[in-house]
Amino acid sequence: MSFISLLALCLLAVPTGAIAASKDGALVITSNKLVMDDKRQSAIFSGKVKVRQGPMKLDADRMTVFYAKGKKQGGKGQVREIRAEGNVVIQQGKNRGTAFRALYDVNANTIRLLGNPKGGAQKKASIHRDTDHLMGQKILLKLAKDKTIAHMSVEGGKKQRVSARINSSGVLETAPAEKK
């Protein structure tokens, strides 16, 4: 599988409703290292991974793309799952998600944002949308066919409950979640 084919697969796996194409439609992925393994059907980008297309940005320490061999897309593999790990930040305009790990399952049409179960940096996953803020250990987004969010659930962790904060003045404020 060529590098250009992989980039095309990554583009197809990103929710189309969530991105506006850049002027030339280019998807740009930069990292310190890329390892492709056709036997394992994966491509691993590691070291300061940055994904850009139009206003959509994804940053992570590591991103793994898993694909299935098949005759779809002109004989090229089809993306099954994308995993972003370590210091994950997904941003488009005023919308921002942060997590220790993010998983996009193409077949289930779900995105999972997960906090770090060991604590430390990014122990919580969070979503900021305009002035709304949600925080929890696990955030699950189920996407509709048009890639809009059809269902969302948020779970707390062992010591922290789910936190949702909306400031009536329109100014986002963060506060620690209430302990269980």
pTM summary value:
0.72
Give per-residue pLDDT as tens, 124-142.
899 887 778 889 999 998 8
- Burial letters 90-100, b for 16+ CB under 10 A, else e: bebeeeebbbb
Domains of the chain: 3-166 (2.60.450.10)
Determine whether 147 is exposed, middle or buried from the number of CB atoms within 10 Å of its CB (0-12, 13-18, 19+): middle
The sign one gets for the Cα dihedral 122, 127, 128, 133 is: negative
Give per-residue pLDDT as tens, 51-78.
887 787 899 999 998 988 765 544 456 8
